[in-house]
Amino acid sequence: MCGIVAYIGKREAYPILIKGLKRLEYRGYDSAGVALLNGGLNIFKTKGKVSDLEALTEGKHLTSNLGMGHTRWATHGEPNNVNSHPHVSQNGNLAIIHNGIIENYATIKEELINRGHHFESETDTEVLIHLIEEIQKASNKELDEAVRIALHEVVGAYAIVIISKNDPEKLIGARKGSPMVVGIGEEGEYFIASDASPIIEYTKDVTYLKDSEIAYINKGKLTVKTIDNIEMTPEIQKLEMNLEAIEKGGYEHFMLKEIFEQPKSIGDSLRGRFDPVTGILAMRSLKEYEHKIKNLKRIIIVGCGTSWHAGLVGEYLFEDIARIPVEVEYASEFRYRNPIINEDDLVIAISQSGETADTLAAIELAKEKGATIFGLCNVVGSSIPRSSHAGAYTHAGPEIGVASTKAFTAQVSVLVLWALGFADIRGRLSKSELSKIMAELESIPAKVEKTLACESLTKELAKQFYQSRNFLYLGRGYGFPVALEGALKLKEISYIHAEGYPAAEMKHGPIALIDEEMPVVVIATKSANYEKVMSNIQEVKARKGKVIAIVTEGDTKVSAMADHVIEIPETSDYLEPLVATIPLQLLSYYIALERGCNVDQPRNLAKSVTVE
Ligand code: G6P
């Protein structure tokens, strides 16, 4: 949800901002803009992508050591030039970029209009910078203080950066509910960004601002204060991310790179977490919360999008292996439906970004009601791990393609570990059973590698089916969340309508849609539901649907019925989602390519949804 980057120091700001915006473009790409301080306040902004901004600035005077840039995912106001950030105050002295939503902007706007303010855009952001100007004017306050007072008046979420024409050595950043990291470079230079990707090649020293904190960078010095004016000591951390991880490395798209990274990312998520000699799962969450896990009555899993699908796999795993009742909830529903939660509950919040607004709010609600929270996130240092009591990282590395791929398989991998660990603690699993499943889990990276060889087949299938208007994805048991995830991937990047369904539920509706035009992707591996799924395939075939089946290597029965088959290596039911998802990711990728879609930046979507 919007990417922000800012620089102050001795280098040229513009190239740092443009490069940074390109790295942040996964967060939104409706419009882009920069503000540079060079004598005056120079603002360039346009509807479209960062490349459109570059075209706009060609040949312009861009020399400056202080500036900020923004890439937008529109919330208030359609994506057009005027609504693009940065926005300026009425007197033109102050400029702001913003990620988030100011919920009470309409009331503030009305008051400001009564005081003579005129607004150019429809955005909530412009209201905030006018408010700061008004506070400065009305009470003769310094900018630092005016920002602080203004932030007390706003309701909502924000990560903002402000620069002032009259303060060429000042950069102010603040956050509440939206992420913000400050990079500390050489000789008094500083960077501010939504995540570390724009900063990584200049410095490894960063500090993550906490909610309701303001970073004042003035004359080469950083001061962090709360919005209640209490000075904080910034915690400086070393970035572990490397540059290679956030570049395409020869692949045409990040999504393809990330699909192909899965043998490694799954391996990385498992590494060091199991000792085959002692049969012990070495995870801090298991050790520190052993007593809690032993006694808990229920697990509630919350997440959004693909993370919610991983949560569904989690439900099957925890119930199957550890025999603990599980509920899986969309975080956005959970937070508003007055759920019954108590101290014996464990809430597992799953999120790639660790910043999804609804998931964060669900955590806060569950915490208030006394539940224990485990976070399962990919982005180290993000908000969800910090709001959770304990948890685990997925170690999948940065995921930049908007459609989530390697984060999903990494999440499922850690959920398997937790399900095994919980079962172990609760005496539901013998050491030998645990070791057997772990051995199988450790063979998954190699099986995923093997599955990736279906790439050329998915390319051919894409050529055949890319013009279909609808797709149906069917699965049973562990194949059901896989079907949901396959359908979501197709929708997200190719804009083809697709539905994931439990194979047997098809009879209660979707079957009416099946005709010779309808491709039906069926997860038909040799699982506990194999025979049942075969009956469902027959039902599709009887209505002339085109079946693309994901089958276990060497399968002959399904192959005899289906129009096309993609083989995957055999694995246990528990681990099937880790392998069966791979061909579906590739299929959606190649269908989207055939349709000429922008795979890494699908329309209307954003990687990190920091608004509710
Ligand atoms: C967005 C992304 C999805 C992601 C979902 C949840 O919709 O486009 O890929 O699954 O948010 O994000 P999270 O970071 O919480 O996993």
CATH of the domain at 569: 3.40.50.10490
Of 191, 213, 239, the position where a domain reaches its end is 239
Q: How far is the CA of 605 from the centre of ligand 1 (A)?
A: 9
Q: Report the CATH number at residue 76.
A: 3.60.20.10
477: domain range?
450-612
pLDDT of residue 275: 85
Is residue 348's pLDDT more than 80? yes
- Check whether residue 563 and residue 470 sit in a common domain: yes
- Cβ(351) – ligand 1 distance below 6 Å: yes
Tell me: the pLDDT tens digits for 195-241? Answer: 898 999 999 999 999 999 999 999 999 999 999 999 999 999 998 87
As a whole number, the mean pLDDT across the chain is 94
Q: Which of 302-306, 515-519, 597-601 has the largest mean confidence? A: 302-306
Least confident window among 83-97, 470-484, 523-537: 523-537
Count of domains forming the chain: 3
- Cβ(406) – ligand 1 distance below 6 Å: no
Whether residue 403 contacts residue 255, with contact meaning beta carbons closer than 8 Å, is answered with yes
On whether residue 278 sits in a domain, the answer given is: yes
Question: For the chain, how far is it from start to end, CA to CA, in angstroms?
Answer: 11
- Cβ(239) – ligand 1 distance below 6 Å: no
Tell me: the pLDDT tens digits for 260-282? Answer: 999 999 999 999 898 888 888 98
Which residue is closest in CA terms to ligand 1's atom 13?
Answer: 351
Q: What's the mean pLDDT in 417-423?
A: 97
Q: How far is the CA of 597 from the centre of ligand 1 (A)?
A: 19
Q: How far is the CA of 402 from the centre of ligand 1 (A)?
A: 8
- Check whether residue 95 and residue 57 sit in a common domain: yes
> How far, in Å, CA of 587 to CA of 22, rounded?
27
Residue 248: pLDDT band with limits 50, 70, 90: confident
On whether residue 331 sits in a domain, the answer given is: yes
- Cβ(356) – ligand 1 distance below 6 Å: yes
Give Cβ neighbours of residue 441 (< 8 Å, ≥ 6 apart): 270, 413, 416, 417, 575
Pairing of strands 205-208, 213-218: unpaired
- Check whether residue 222 and residue 275 sit in a common domain: no
Tell me: the pLDDT tens digits for 125-155? Answer: 999 999 999 999 988 889 999 999 999 999 9
Is residue 291's pLDDT more than 80? yes
Torsion 225-231-237-243 (CA) sign: positive
Whether residue 331 contacts residue 302, with contact meaning beta carbons closer than 8 Å, is answered with yes
Which residue is closest in CA terms to ligand 1's atom 4?
Answer: 305
On whether residue 92 sits in a domain, the answer given is: yes
pLDDT of residue 240: 80
pLDDT of residue 320: 96
pLDDT of residue 30: 87
pLDDT of residue 25: 86
On whether residue 171 sits in a domain, the answer given is: yes
- Check whether residue 355 and residue 399 sit in a common domain: yes
Whether residue 20 contacts residue 197, with contact meaning beta carbons closer than 8 Å, is answered with yes
Best CA proximity match to 172, nearest among 157, 192, 154, 156: 192
- Cβ(611) – ligand 1 distance below 6 Å: no
Strand boundaries in 14-155, DSSP class E: 31-38, 40-47, 66-72, 87-88, 94-102
Q: How far is the CA of 314 from the centre of ligand 1 (A)?
A: 17
pLDDT of residue 280: 86
On whether residue 276 sits in a domain, the answer given is: yes
- Check whether residue 132 and residue 45 sit in a common domain: yes
pLDDT of residue 424: 95
- Check whether residue 500 and residue 455 sit in a common domain: yes
pLDDT of residue 41: 95
On whether residue 126 sits in a domain, the answer given is: yes
- Dihedral pair phi/psi, residue 464, rounded to 5°: -75, -35
pLDDT of residue 185: 96
On whether residue 456 sits in a domain, the answer given is: yes
> How far, in Å, CA of 345 to CA of 369, rounded?
10
Residue 75: pLDDT band with limits 50, 70, 90: confident
- Check whether residue 264 and residue 207 sit in a common domain: no
Is residue 57's pLDDT more than 80? yes
- Check whether residue 226 and residue 374 sit in a common domain: no
Q: How far is the CA of 510 from the centre of ligand 1 (A)?
A: 26
> How far, in Å, CA of 194 to CA of 383, rounded?
12
Of 187, 214, 239, the position where a domain reaches its end is 239
Q: How far is the CA of 560 from the centre of ligand 1 (A)?
A: 38
- Cβ(601) – ligand 1 distance below 6 Å: no
Whether residue 215 contacts residue 172, with contact meaning beta carbons closer than 8 Å, is answered with yes
Q: How far is the CA of 449 from the centre of ligand 1 (A)?
A: 25
- Check whether residue 516 and residue 371 sit in a common domain: no
- Check whether residue 562 and residue 482 sit in a common domain: yes
| Among 254, 307, 412, 588, residue to substitute to test ligand 1 (most atoms within 8 Å of Cβ) | 307
Pairing of strands 87-88, 94-102: antiparallel
SS3 64: coil
pLDDT of residue 139: 84
Ligand 1 atom at minimum distance from 353 CA: 14
The DSSP code for 177 is B
Of the two residues 603 and 225, the one the predictor is more confident about is 225
Residues in the chain: 612
On whether residue 244 sits in a domain, the answer given is: no
pLDDT of residue 233: 95
- Cβ(307) – ligand 1 distance below 6 Å: yes
Ligand 1 atom at minimum distance from 384 CA: 15
- Dihedral pair phi/psi, residue 565, rounded to 5°: -130, 145
- Cβ(585) – ligand 1 distance below 6 Å: no
Q: How far is the CA of 482 from the centre of ligand 1 (A)?
A: 16
Ligand 1 atom at minimum distance from 605 CA: 8
Q: What's the mean pLDDT in 491-499?
A: 96
Q: How far is the CA of 612 from the centre of ligand 1 (A)?
A: 12
Which residue is closest in CA terms to ligand 1's atom 3?
Answer: 305
pLDDT of residue 387: 92
- Cβ(357) – ligand 1 distance below 6 Å: no
Which residue is closest in CA terms to ligand 1's atom 5?
Answer: 305
- Cβ(609) – ligand 1 distance below 6 Å: yes
| Among 394, 493, 607, 611, residue to substitute to test ligand 1 (most atoms within 8 Å of Cβ) | 607
- Cβ(605) – ligand 1 distance below 6 Å: yes
Q: Token digits for 168?
A: 């060429």
Give the largest CA-CA distance in the chain. Answer: 81
- Check whether residue 137 and residue 224 sit in a common domain: yes
Residue 223: what residue type? T
Q: What's the mean pLDDT in 83-112?
A: 94
The DSSP code for 319 is I
pLDDT of residue 576: 96
- Check whether residue 185 and residue 62 sit in a common domain: yes
Q: Any idea which residues carry the catalytic annotation?
A: 2, 607
Of 408, 426, 442, the position where a domain reaches its end is 442
| Among 29, 255, 352, 491, residue to substitute to test ligand 1 (most atoms within 8 Å of Cβ) | 352
- Dihedral pair phi/psi, residue 362, rounded to 5°: -65, -40
- Cβ(353) – ligand 1 distance below 6 Å: yes
